[in-house]
Amino acid sequence: MHSALHVDLYQLSSLLVHHHAGKASMPVTMSFFSRRLPRREDGSGQSARGFLLQAALGRCLEWLSGARFDEAQLATLDRQPVLGPRMDPALRKQLEEWRFEGIVDAPLDGTPLFAGTALGPDGQPVDFGGVRPSAACPYMVIQTDLLSAKLIETPLLSLLNHMTMVASKAAAVVEAAGGRPVYEFGTRRTHPQAAVDAALAAWIGGCSGSSNVEAFHRYGVPCVGTMDHFAVQAWEQAGTPRAATEHAFFKAFYDTFGGGMLLVDTYDSFGEQTGIRNAVAATGGKLGGVRIDSGISKETVWRARRLLDDLGAPSAKILLSGGLDEAVMRELADSPVDAYGVGERIVTSPDSPVGVGAVAKLCEVGRTPTMKLSRGTGKATLPGRVQVFRGENGDTVALKGEYPPGRPLLERVWEHRSPCYSGDPAAARDRAQRELAALPAEWKQPRQAALTLSPRLFKLVEQLATSA
């Protein structure tokens, strides 16, 4: 069971108004999307990503499958000062019995998505008297009743914003690594529950594994790790030189695991009796590799490689960690690095840390198309249920039932009360690798994206934007 209370208060207060007006069961369609690609948070206004990577769909469907109100939660609503005095027995009963029911269409996890300026069939930005809609491939298009729409919007946006941010950043980091494995080590830099979703999203985005054991338990994300400074320091003994205790711990670790990646910078990576020299000596030159967690530069990497070779450990790998990102990896491209461990720079995405701007807006009320006009703000939305077609020259957003050139991206993933998409993380990761490899190089670079509207959708936008 997942708590259905993970919702903003205004969703429930406005639901009360609709319920009292007899509109809670009215059919609606809502679209979840980003208005544009993320921008850098350094004030430059520059784009931070070339694409967004769908990675939260499986988790969203998992939440929809299990979302419930239990009696304790309903009692909480009874005593909430805004809701309690206005909650009638009929609505309380509806919430008690509520299970999500509807239809969900979405691109599958692992699909790269684009968002940005809406272009008309003539290739020009759409602008009808200040109504300037953005265009995007939605994360999800959901047909349901108004009550359900109010209950699901907030939790689904939480999942979409967080996991898409992490997966998109992970994909960018993996691309910069140039084929070298990247391991996600960011668990301690975020909330314990968010860390599990981050590990899953990073793996879908191309990371080779995660340090998070719970993500391995829940989703089968490969669990990887080296050792910690704590472990090396905890082997210290009064009256014994640190070089000797470091050597002793390295040997104990090697005897236990028969190899492994030894962390060599607790005291001095290049010391005469510590660090790399101790790692080679303690393992008889048979160590699996070394992890260097500080002082990262091309010079130190080459120095480590030469020292390992000179000491008789040419097969030992070098794994780097500690504040790494795409820029550092590009600087190290011609260095003898074998793998990277990246933590906070993936799970907090510091160059664009506020999610991906995912929002949810109504596109149909009943079966009538609607759009948010937001005249003069650039926040106008697209009306109607859409399908997105990916062609050689980019994406075309069309109304459901249109078939412009290209491959349709949205698939049916939920019908009535159950999902019809498994959400298998391994399949999502494979899909991401295939899809990203097929994208033109320029589509993966940070940029301002634009998507074309089909003629029928363009006409519908014009009609709604210019009507009274």
The CA angle 193-195-198, to the nearest 5 degrees, is: 120
Residues 162, 24 within the same domain: yes
What CATH code is carried by the domain that includes residue 314?
3.20.20.70
User: CB 162: neighbour CB atoms within 10 A?
Assistant: 24
Look up the domain containing 246 and give its range.
Answer: 225-342
- The answer to whether residue 444 is domain-embedded is yes
Distance between first and last Cα of the chain: 46
Residues 338, 440 within the same domain: no
Task: Give the number of domains in the chain.
Answer: 2
- The answer to whether residue 192 is domain-embedded is no
C-alpha closest to that of 64 among 145, 137, 155, 143: 155
Residues 426, 335 within the same domain: no
Give the helix, strand, coil percentages of the chain, each rounded to 5: 40, 20, 40
- Rounded CA gap, 386 and 106, in Å? 10
- Among 286, 308, 342, give the residue marking a domain's end: 342
Residues 305, 427 within the same domain: no
DSSP for 268-315 reads: -TT-SSSHHHHHHHHTTT---EEEE-SS--HHHHHHHHHHHHHTT-TT
Residues 290, 374 within the same domain: no
- Among 282, 310, 342, give the residue marking a domain's end: 342
**What's the chain's average pLDDT?**
96
- The answer to whether residue 183 is domain-embedded is no
Residues 254, 330 within the same domain: yes
Phi, psi for residue 121 in degrees, rounded to 5: -55, -20
How far is it between the farthest Cα atoms of the chain? 86
Residues 149, 296 within the same domain: no
Q: Given this model, what pLDDT does residue 468 score? A: 57
Identify the H or E element spanning 394: strand 394-399
- Rounded CA gap, 196 and 448, in Å? 31
Residues of the chain with pLDDT below 50 are none
- The answer to whether residue 456 is domain-embedded is yes
Number of residues that make up the chain: 468
Residues 325, 248 within the same domain: yes
- The answer to whether residue 252 is domain-embedded is yes
- Rounded CA gap, 287 and 289, in Å? 5
The contacts of residue 425 (CB under 8 Å, 6+ apart) are: 58, 109, 200, 203, 204, 219, 220, 221
User: CB 388: neighbour CB atoms within 10 A?
Assistant: 24
Residues 137, 235 within the same domain: no
Pairing of strands 140-145, 27-34: antiparallel
Residues 337, 250 within the same domain: yes
- The answer to whether residue 347 is domain-embedded is no
Residues 378, 301 within the same domain: no
Task: Tally the C-alpha atoms within 13 A of residue 123's C-alpha that lie toward its C-beta.
Answer: 2
**DSSP-assigned beta bridge partners for residue 34:** 358
- The answer to whether residue 66 is domain-embedded is yes
Residues 363, 338 within the same domain: no
* pTM score: 0.96
Pairing of strands 261-263, 102-106: unpaired
- Among 342, 367, 400, give the residue marking a domain's end: 342
Classify 45 in phi/psi space as left (phi over 0), alpha (psi -120 to 50) or beta. Answer: left
- The answer to whether residue 375 is domain-embedded is yes
For residue range 185-224, what is the model confidence (pLDDT) as tens digits?
999 999 999 999 999 999 999 999 999 999 999 999 999 9
What CATH code is carried by the domain that includes residue 64?
3.20.140.10
Q: Given this model, what pLDDT does residue 282 score? A: 96
